[in-house]
């Protein structure tokens, strides 16, 4: 799968939103996702505007935004349209189907209304995918939505083992709900083989290393060429830079060059 181009993989994708994202990556020539982990709405919008030209995906954690409002979402969607990137709410759902259905569609954030993509743990089994799909009735039924399932984590000492990884792959690739699974959040290429899924890999920084709370970083080249990442997620590597635009451009260039080398081999 890692030798195939994003264009060719778009044709294999079962999820319409994965197809759209693969094509967006290929035409915009970027495989960078910005993790906009900031707690003020205006700061996120400013970051989205500055980094917009260089990213295929902007990842949020809406529950850390202290001044969340509907207008924040309207503005974020306008930036996504202007700069041509998709929105992912990294909610990491992990409950029974009925509860995740409510968490996805209801509450303050109404995630299903605006996020093209969300993330979910596979811990509850395949009912988590069914629960998410169940929230998509009514006004949201016509919208293209999808989930990335977590099969590995970048945190040191996390509890995921080989069996869990294998079973996560089965949920992502087998059964009647695979059209809703756009990809897998993981750290290595062996998590899944199906080329129609997108590998999203967080824990990316030009300076490798760790933070004080268990996060482990690898370089853009390493995650793409050695670990099979299709999209590299960068948060603090960009957010804390003195020149955000230049840094985002440089992450985009390095991730994209690594992808080009990978598929050329």
**Is 212 annotated among the ligand-binding residues?**
no
Contact 160, 184 (CB under 8 A): no
Which of 166, 161, 104, 168 lies closest to 131, judged by CA? 104
In the complex, least distance from residue 204 CB atom to ligand UP6, rounded to whole angstroms:
6
- DSSP H/E element including 258: helix 244-264
115 binding ligand UP6? (CB under 6 A): no
203 binding ligand UP6? (CB under 6 A): yes
Q: Residue 214 in 3-state DSSP? A: coil
200 binding ligand UP6? (CB under 6 A): no
Distances (CA, A) of 2 to 22, 144, 224, 230: 13, 25, 9, 8
- DSSP H/E element including 250: helix 244-264
x/- track of binding to ligand UP6 for residues 50-89 (CB under 6 A): -----------x----------------------------
**Catalytic residue numbers, as ranges:** 90, 92, 95
Contact range with ligand UP6 by CB under 6 A, out of 12-20, 49-57, 93-101, 234-242: 234-242
112 binding ligand UP6? (CB under 6 A): no
In the complex, least distance from residue 249 CB atom to ligand UP6, rounded to whole angstroms:
17
Q: What are phi and psi of 259, to 5 degrees?
A: -65, -45
Interface residue list for ligand UP6 (CB under 6 A): 35, 37, 61, 90, 153-154, 185, 202-203, 215, 233-237
């Amino acid at each position: 799968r890692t030798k195939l181009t994003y264009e060719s993989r778009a044709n294999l994708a079962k999820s319409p939103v994965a197809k759209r994202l693969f094509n967006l990556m290929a035409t915009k020539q970027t495989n960078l996702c910005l993790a906009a982990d900031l707690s003020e709405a205006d700061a996120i919008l400013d970051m989205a505007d500055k980094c917009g030209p260089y990213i295929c995906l902007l990842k949020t954690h809406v529950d850390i935004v202290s001044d969340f409002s509907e207008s924040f979402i309207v503005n974020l969607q306008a930036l996504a349209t202007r700069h041509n990137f998709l929105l992912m709410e990294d909610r990491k759902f992990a409950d029974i189907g009925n509860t995740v259905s409510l968490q996805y569609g209801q509450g303050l954030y109404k995630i299903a209304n605006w996020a093209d993509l969300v993330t979910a743990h596979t811990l509850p089994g395949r009912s988590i995918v069914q629960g998410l799909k169940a929230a998509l009735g009514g006004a949201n039924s016509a919208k293209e939505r999808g989930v990335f399932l977590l099969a590995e984590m970048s945190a040191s000492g996390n509890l995921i083992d080989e069996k869990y990884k294998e079973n996560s792959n089965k949920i992502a690739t087998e059964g009647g709900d695979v059209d809703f699974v756009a990809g897998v959040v993981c750290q290595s290429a062996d998590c899944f083989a199906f080329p129609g899924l997108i590998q999203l890999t967080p824990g990316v920084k030009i300076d490798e290393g760790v933070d004080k709370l268990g996060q482990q970083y690898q370089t853009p080249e390493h995650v793409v060429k050695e670990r099979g990442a299709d999209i590299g997620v960068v948060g603090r590597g960009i957010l804390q830079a003195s020149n955000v635009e230049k840094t985002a451009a440089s992450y985009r260039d390095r991730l994209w060059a690594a992808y080009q080398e990978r598929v050329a081999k």
